[in-house]
Amino acid sequence: MRDALQKLKKKNTAVVGISPDAPGKQKKFDTKYTLGFPLLSDPDHVVAEKYGVWAEKSMFGKKYMGIVRSAFLIDEKGKIIAAWYKISPKKTVPELMKALNE
Which neighbouring-strand residues pair with 18?
40
How many other CB atoms are found less than 10 A from the CB of residue 42?
18
How many other CB atoms are found less than 10 A from the CB of residue 27?
13
Is 48 within 8 Å of 70 (Cβ atoms)? no
Q: Which domains does the chain have, with CATH numbers?
A: 2-97 (3.40.30.10)
**The pLDDT of residue 12 is above 80:** yes
What's the pTM value of the predicted model, to 2 decimals? 0.87
Would you say the C-alpha torsion 93, 98, 18, 44 has a positive or negative sign?
Answer: negative
* Distance in angstroms (rounded) separating the CA atoms of residues 3 and 90: 11
**The pLDDT of residue 14 is above 90:** yes
Cα 45 to Cα 37, 40, 86, distances in angstroms: 20, 11, 17
For the segment 23-81, what is each residue's pLDDT rounded down to a tens digit?
Answer: 999 999 999 999 999 999 999 999 999 999 999 999 999 999 999 999 999 999 999 99
